[in-house]
Chains A and B, each alone.
Chain A
Amino acid sequence: MKTASITMIIGSAFLLGLFVFPLWSITLEAPQYPSGIGMYINLDGLEGHEKHDIQNIDGLNHYIGMRKLPKQDEMWEFSVFPKVIGGMAILGILIGLLGLFKKVSYKWFLGWLVLMTVLGVMGIFDFNAWMTDYGTNLDPKAIMKMTDEDGNPLSYKPPLFGSRDILNFTAHSYPAIGAVLMGIGMFLTFIAYIIGLKKAN
């Protein structure tokens, strides 16, 4: 149980990496932007790859009528996400400590992981819903109004995961270090559960 609990503590602590490293990264590439232009999605707000990238993405987006990218205080997620992640990390560490002192069983590890997974999926849904709204809810006075083959307004929603061509840009959307650390952490809590299970048997 000792190894399992320590693994659980370490695994949950990996979530704290999100307070230092970004969760996601979206990069836009076009001939005029040889070194790309892009943003990181941090737990508590958006940040340009370079100092003025957010402003420059907004500048590009205004041609097609997209709203400005939200500031920290313009999206509830940016104040709630840090609390959820911080809370889950503390909870996971606590469960791990309790496991160490044999106060709770290894099954709690799995419980934590299930809760974390549910929250993660909810987060992804929320993120996707925001991107859909951001990419399709356009200013009716937009300078350029593009339509698809069926005559419907074009969606400028960046991909949730992967790459997509949007007009002259190719958008790449991939997890950043913070999300990778979170994934490793969650996998470790699963390992913790497995170790606990094996020891118990």
Chain B
Amino acid sequence: MKTIQKLLLGLGAGLLLIGCGNNSKSDSGAMASSNAEKVYVAPGEHDEFYAFLSGGYSGNLTVYGLPSGRMFKEIPVFSQFPTNGYGYSEESKAMLNTSFGFVPWGDSHHPDISQTNGKLDGRWVFINENNTPRIARISLETFETEEIIEIPNSAGNHASSYVTENTEYVVAGTRFAVPNPQKDMPIDEMKGEFKGPLTFIKVDQEHGHMEIDFQINMPGFNYDLSHPGRDKSHGWFFFTSYNTEEAHSMQEVNASQNDKDFIAAVNWMKIKEYVENGGGTEVAGTYAHNIYDESTMMATTEMKEGVTSVDPREVPGAVYYMPVPKSPHGIDVNPTGEYIIGNGKLSTQLSVYSFAKMQEAIKNKDFDGDAYGIPILKYESVLEGVVDSGGLGPLHTEFDGKGFGYTSFFISSEVVKWKVGTWEVVDRQPSFYSVGHLTIPGGNSREPFGKYMFSMNKITKDRYLPTGPELEHSAQLYDISGDKMELLLDFPTHGEPHYAAAIPADLIKSKSKKYYDLEDNNHKYAAKSESATRVERKGNEVHVYATTVRSHFSPDNIEGVKVGDKVYFHITNLEQDFDVPHGFAMIGANTSEILIMPGQTKTIIWEPKREGVWPFYCTDFCSALHQEMQGYVRVSAKNSDTKLRWSLDDEWKE
């Protein structure tokens, strides 16, 4: 009997244990569901933040919502975009002009949102192109690229496009030192001969128009990333450099020999004054400046010649080097502007420099020699502290505005949270996998919004359903509102986001344009009503002034086009309502479609090659009669005498 009791007791205890097990399981379930709730934005609801992720080798900029991780739009910037005709349409082709001619592709890297008093103001987002050095400006009203300026005398514009705290300047750097001016010379004689110009581009506060103010002709190290001073360090700009060895081959090894490389500290305020007072020399440098005019809906290129070059040694007190552990990547400044963080890519440490100590060292001429005449500040004199995390490969740091820094570690694949001032590590979370940059909304400004942080990871591997060898990159969203970071969400990105800028949605969403007012359309080839539609021949050029409205083109029948003609379809979308674009595509056109927003005019060229009757149609499902939104062009032989005429609903005109 007793044994049976014992057995039953034992069974009871077992059941209890099982019960406990179940309980703890449901706990973790509840935890997971609360994470789901944190990123759940109910259907029809809006996200709290906009995030603008660079597209890397897509050349574009993608727009995401946080915390949902949903992608809203891909904004074409440096690459042709057949989806809407950017870089194909007659209006937008000029955006991709450079001093090398039309370049259809770019490598976009570091978006940065315009600021006023060091705070995000939501006027524009800037983004740099690394390959053919350029900087673009994107309107946050239309979410379209409005301007692209090329950077002459530079190569590898990577340390860009960060803005000063009142958007006085946006900067460009040189990651691949080159002869300046360019010349035919032996590669292995680069040492001392190559240069790394840093370019300061003035921003017009009303329209955002960019203008190269000056280039600092720095020694030929590889300037990698940069960050402006904030608040008390406003007026300074900091650039990391690697390859201070000035290796020209097998840089993987040869540029990794020096134990320390340099951070260049640039007092741009001083150089600005120097240039204003006539300092610097005019040097050669051809560059394209492309501006899209929203009124004429036309992009134009102005080829410019010459820049003001400044020899940093000729402006006393303007440029210093600070030693930094081995091949640094990111350089970041905390919101108060006091601490400058060097992320030693091939080391375990972050070096924290004090702006006050830097000023003191400059005053005391506390130098450790010079590099090509630029004084090197003594490491020990400017160093405030070291974040020794035990992680490997720190790349980039942002701040939450609550006294903490967050650093990405590529090699050890993690994000590390540390305390500003004590430099102690307070938390670390793995990233999946190998994080590059990370972003906190406003995290590089004076006023971060420290609720979320997301990492942009370089390696995806098994995070999603496999899609063959080529994978999109992955991002991870962390809740940083508590003491410990909490991983909330994985979301795939497009291209290779190198960096992102994020901003509270409330700062921009009400300004977002719904459509273009037809009254303000000053396009040279616009037809603002169906009565204005027509077809004109000028030699072998045929200009079709057409309109779209749900659900027809006007005209929709055209005759008298001949083989060998160059047909310009100038399509004006007469709609005046939110989200009613029409598309236009022509069979056999060697271009792309065009997507025309309400009130907009866009032009695409078609060069008919064969006789016949050829259809065109609307590519955007615009209405219930979208399928019927089509038309025909009759193409006759080159020497035929078919009359040029056009019609809508059999009302022929000529």
Contact = CB atoms under 8 A, between A and B. Distances in A.
Given A59-B549, A59-B550, A52 B624 contact: no
B625 A52 contact: no
Nearest to B628: A143
A55 B625 contact: no
Contacts of B577: 52, 56, 59
B84 interface: no
B300 interface: no
B180 interface: no
B576 interface: yes
A52 B575 CA distance: 9
Interface string B565-607: 0000000000111000000000000000000000000000000
Nearest to B518: A52
Nearest to A60: B550
Contacts of A143: 625
A125 interface: no
B624 A55 contact: no
Interface string A97-121: 0000000000000000000000000
A170 B597 CA distance: 28
Interface in A47-80: 51-52, 55-56, 59, 63
A63 B624 contact: yes
Contact of A63 (B517, B576, B625): B625
Nearest to A53: B577
Contacts of B576: 51-52, 55-56
A64 B130 CA distance: 54
Contacts of B550: 59
Nearest to A37: B577
A56 B549 CA distance: 11
A143 B629 CA distance: 13
A143 B624 CA distance: 10
Contacts of A55: 576
Contacts of B624: 63, 144
Nearest to B550: A59
Contacts of A51: 517, 576
Interface string B456-472: 00000000000000000
B553 to A, nearest CB: 15
A189 to B, nearest CB: 43
A63 B550 CA distance: 9
A68 B550 CA distance: 15
Nearest to B649: A141
Contacts of A144: 624
Interface in A86-144: 143-144
Interface in B537-577: 549-550, 575-577
Contacts of A52: 576-577
Contacts of A59: 549-550, 575, 577
Nearest to A143: B625
A30 to B, nearest CB: 13
A143 B626 CA distance: 13
Nearest to B44: A34
Contacts of B549: 59
Nearest to A56: B577
Contacts of B575: 59
Interface in A14-65: 51-52, 55-56, 59, 63
Most buried by B among A52, A55, A143: A52
Interface string A141-163: 00110000000000000000000
A188 B288 CA distance: 72
Nearest to A59: B550
A144 B625 CA distance: 10
A183 to B, nearest CB: 34
A63 B625 CA distance: 9
A59 B549 CA distance: 8
A164 B575 CA distance: 27
Contacts of A63: 624-625
Nearest to B574: A55
A142 to B, nearest CB: 12
B493 to A, nearest CB: 29
A162 B575 CA distance: 30
**Residue of A59, A63, A144 with most chain B CB atoms under a 10 A cut-off:** A59
B48 to A, nearest CB: 20
A144 B550 CA distance: 14
B595 to A, nearest CB: 19
A180 to B, nearest CB: 30
Nearest to A55: B576
Interface in B498-554: 517, 549-550
A55 B575 CA distance: 9
Interface centre among B550, B576, B625 (most CB of A within 10 A): B576
Nearest to B519: A51
B510 to A, nearest CB: 13
B331 to A, nearest CB: 45
Contacts of B517: 51
Interface in B16-59: none
A52 B519 CA distance: 11
A145 B280 CA distance: 76
A55 B573 CA distance: 14
A140 to B, nearest CB: 15
A143 B627 CA distance: 13
A68 B575 CA distance: 15
Nearest to B623: A63
Contacts of A56: 576-577
Nearest to B549: A59
Interface in A161-179: none
A143 B623 CA distance: 12
A125 B576 CA distance: 33
Nearest to B625: A143
Nearest to A35: B578
B580 to A, nearest CB: 9
A52 B577 CA distance: 7
A200 B517 CA distance: 62
A102 to B, nearest CB: 56
A144 B551 CA distance: 13
B487 to A, nearest CB: 34
A52 B549 CA distance: 14
A56 B514 CA distance: 14
In order of increasing CB-CB distance, the 8 nearest A-B pairs are: A52-B576, A56-B577, A55-B576, A59-B550, A52-B577, A143-B625, A56-B576, A63-B624
15 contacts: A51-B517, A51-B576, A52-B576, A52-B577, A55-B576, A56-B576, A56-B577, A59-B549, A59-B550, A59-B575, A59-B577, A63-B624, A63-B625, A143-B625, A144-B624
Interface of A: 51-52, 55-56, 59, 63, 143-144
Interface of B: 517, 549-550, 575-577, 624-625
Given A63-B624, A144-B624, 4 more contacts: A52-B577, A55-B576, A56-B576, A59-B550
